Structure 1
């Protein structure tokens, strides 16, 4: 019985192995057919540009005087092209700036931020005055980061948002 059991196992194992080999051959043939179809024509210009962009070097190696000159030229070109960005295209719409930057904390009172309620903001205006509030908004105070966490806000934009807040509590 043992020999017959072994023979049955070898036949089953051989059949499974032959099936896997046949399946592998079919997959290889299909892959070759698909590969030939996909790359028959020229690549589109957009695809070629994307490939070239991915192949650009991440950095350069500069050595000696020639390298130093190339590095300085690259640094000067980068500095000339990088203009400081101003948030919201320089808009001084206090309501819009408040809604996009300040409201997250000042509507809920998060981290001790005064809410737009006469009792909370009114006392600060009376104690400190507008100029101090604007200065605190620009430089940050307590848990509030400078410029509400938006370093790209200009002083005028911060002042406009403070003025909007003060107008709301009057």
Structure 2
């Protein structure tokens, strides 16, 4: 009797497995059919990304016309002026708040604050020397206070702001 039950179980189990496999294949075929009927619109972002990837990394110049094109490209690269911080603004307060205050408000690494007593012998120096120390860097302060795009005029404006607002 036990042998008969085992055969019936195996037959029924096999039928269930075959039915599940057939159902899986049916779902796969149905999804492929639905997928094929839908029209895909190309994504503008995808097209732009593909076009960007296809751009050459550098120009190849050969012969006389190539030499002229290379020289024109080099002249164009030199003609471009470097970008100046904060759109070239010489608002000393704004420059101080955005660049200098991070260290000078707290006196980080001995940076003088807006309190007169923290300046020591720096106040004996003339304005040009103080501006030069901002441009060239001094002690822990990197050149141009860590902002390579800070112009000389902006450095001078920030020094003037600090000197005008000493307690």
Q: TM-score, normalised on structure 1?
A: 0.72
| 8 Å contact from structure 2 (residues 61, 70) kept in 1 | no
Distance in 2 of aligned mates of 1:66 and 1:3: 94
* Larger Rg over CA atoms: 2
**Matched ranges for 1:72-91 at <5 A:** 72-80=71-79, 82-91=80-89
Distance in 1 of aligned mates of 2:7 and 2:70: 74
Distance in 2 of aligned mates of 1:108 and 1:90: 27
Post-superposition CA distance 1:3-30 (Å, at most 9, x none) = 9779968975884576366346525633
Paired residues, what number? 165
Distance in 2 of aligned mates of 1:142 and 1:9: 85
SS in 2 for 1:169: coil
- The verdict on how the C-alpha distance between 1:68 and 1:125 changes in structure 2, with shifts beyond 3 A counting, is same
Distance in 1 of aligned mates of 2:46 and 2:159: 50
In the alignment, what sits opposite 1:141?
A: 138
Post-superposition CA distance 1:134-165 (Å, at most 9, x none) = 11001101111111111111101100001101
Distance in 1 of aligned mates of 2:103 and 2:134: 13
Q: TM-score, normalised on structure 2?
A: 0.73
Shift of 1:91: 0.8
In the alignment, what sits opposite 1:26?
A: 27
- The verdict on how the C-alpha distance between 1:151 and 1:51 changes in structure 2, with shifts beyond 3 A counting, is closer
In the alignment, what sits opposite 1:103?
A: 101
Can you give the 5+ residue segments of structure 2 that lack an aligned partner in the other structure? none
